[in-house]
Homo-oligomer: A and B are copies of this chain.
């Protein structure tokens, strides 16, 4: 069995930063209180995560792909709730 330290680091990192992001999404979803979310900054962040996903594919790093694919879905959801809250 081939133990790979970099993969272990990457998946641990991916797990931690992704899990830490979930409560923000749940909070925004439940309360629909998006007042603390800045639209320009969150748009920039979501675009950045999309680029990280592209970068993950470009360098062939599965931890980067997995972490940013999940975070992109969560960030896009919060961004969508923010846009809805502005329109209302």
Contacts and interface: CB of A to CB of B under 8 A. Distances in A.
Interface string A32-54: 00001010011011011101101
Given A6-B58, A59-B59, A16 B48 contact: yes
Interface of A is mostly: helix
Contacts of A48: 12-18, 20
A51 B9 CA distance: 6
Copies in the complex: 2
Given A23-B38, A41-B23, A64-B64, A59 B16 contact: no
A50 to B, nearest CB: 8
Contacts of A54: 9, 13
A11 B12 CA distance: 23
Contact of A51 (B12, B21, B23, B61): B12
Contacts of A14: 48
